[in-house]
Structure 1
Amino acid sequence: MTGEGKGHLDASPFLHGSGTFVNEMMFPDVKTTLNLFGIHRRKVAGDWSYPPHEHPQYEINYLLEGHQTMRVNGMEYDQRAGDLLLLRPGDVHSSRSGDGQPFEYFCIHFDLDDRLFLSLLGRMEQTLFPAASPIARKIRPALGKMMEPDSAANARSVAGRMRLQSTVFELLAQLWDAVSAETLQLSPQSYGKVELAHEIAGRLQGLANQTFRKGKSGEEPYGIREIAAALGISVSYCNRIFREVYGQSPRAYWSELMLHEACHLLSDPRYTVQTISAILGYRDIAHFSRQFKRWTGAAPSDYRKQHSRLE
């Protein structure tokens, strides 16, 4: 079932009650999606090796004991116990013992849709982080928690999977803190650009949340002129700085926010396409459908058939 024939829901999926607020604390919407793949702890013999390969996800490779030689994009890294390797999507890498003796490592592959986090990782040029480095020290406790004896078995249950994801989110939060500290080593000018781009992205996210809550127009304009004016910079400078840090324009980032919310709502059959169109602020369902097809190559109804959460 797609839910198209169900009753029309209110354009805002949030209820705010009636009467006068005495006090209120509003938290930002949290919609980060985390996917985990191929988590394993492995001890191998000295003659073990893994041929060159690549992944579409990030990989954290943590050496527990021994000596591993990892070849990444043509460069060799000698990894000792406690050292951490951070591999990016598309990195071609292979592995073998560094001294012909057994070694043990822990590996996790992940991807997530938080562009601020991915932008920060993208600015890191380092691949090997020694055991004494701030980044390796910072995330070691979360890695240790994941490697507890019962973790793999418990992860087969729903509660166990939730706890595993919670631990990985904590690991990523620690990684964010550590990488952010590394960013402070940039020149003041470069660091200022990064912070400005993050501020622009945060304000765009805030405008998007207002759009989704109140059904404001999600088509045009997306508020970059107002953001630039509030920050005391020109629109052209705002666009240029954002593109330097994120590799895309603010308009493209705004479209991604709209697409992410559209896909999230379409996966829930309780909302008709007409309702979703109203939530996202489009003037009519036809315009929303055309825009969604430009984004994804599929009509909203076709996307829903493939991704509906409920049958």
Structure 2
Amino acid sequence: MDIEVIFPSMTSTLQIKGCGFFVKPPGWSYPLHHHHLFEILYCFSGEVVQFVGASERTMRTGDWMLLKAGARHRLENLAAEPYSFLNIHFDVDDPDLRRRLTAADCFLLSGADAAAGGLAEIVARIERLMALSLTDAPSSGPSAKLEALDIDPLRKLELQAAILLIVTSLTAQFAAPQAPAGKARLSVASFKEIDTAHAIEERLRRMVTADSDNSIARIARDLHLSRSQCSKLFTKVYGVSPRRYVSELVLNRAKRLLVTTNRPIEAIALELGFHSLSHFSSQFRRWTGVSPMQYRPKFE
């Protein structure tokens, strides 16, 4: 018997940038931004709110998040304790893997679901590598910020292997999800399309106020696009139309104001650009199934 089983030839590139451990105090925030690298976040302790596009996701101890390259996001530590986390920025050139990684703007994996995937053991390996490398770094106190640890080639290979295992585990968890109802399945956008879509998104955010003079037609004109081009390009990157995206922004802001302030509902309606309380109430009920008064918490 003569048997040969041969794996295919493989040539691929893994780029890792900004991989490290961080601890940030209560009240810390990171402004709205985007970059052309995929991003992985792991929450060691504390709690942080990730604002990705029009959505809000809360990360708690043990949770993982994978952000698509180009996804526009910001962070806020609204808790009363420090937020400690592992952060990895990376890129890969394998087209099939990139397609799977760009299936949605972000994926959130709970600590309970992550426990079964062996991710804790991989993080422990990275921590060990950091500890070994820190023994060779000059000591400058607990608040010191090192630009980059100097690690030898073998430790560098081990770090790359560990990060690839994390990417593999998360990609398997999030493999080819079904698009949510009403959301288009995204095709892979170019960096230029992503940048243009984010320029559109910046202007759409300004529409969520009563004094905004923006409109989708005006945004398209200012960016030298037809309204159809503007809508198609934005939908390709964000998965929803510009009009629906603005509705999600308005709804999220309305919910936040109703829950976190005691302002009159009519004042909230006017701030969000509604011309009357009845218009706001009927629209809010259509979005949520309840009136603003019913949605607002009642304190005894």
TM-score (norm 1): 0.48
TM-score when normalising by structure 2:
0.49
| RCO comparison, higher one (Cα < 8 Å, 6+) | 1
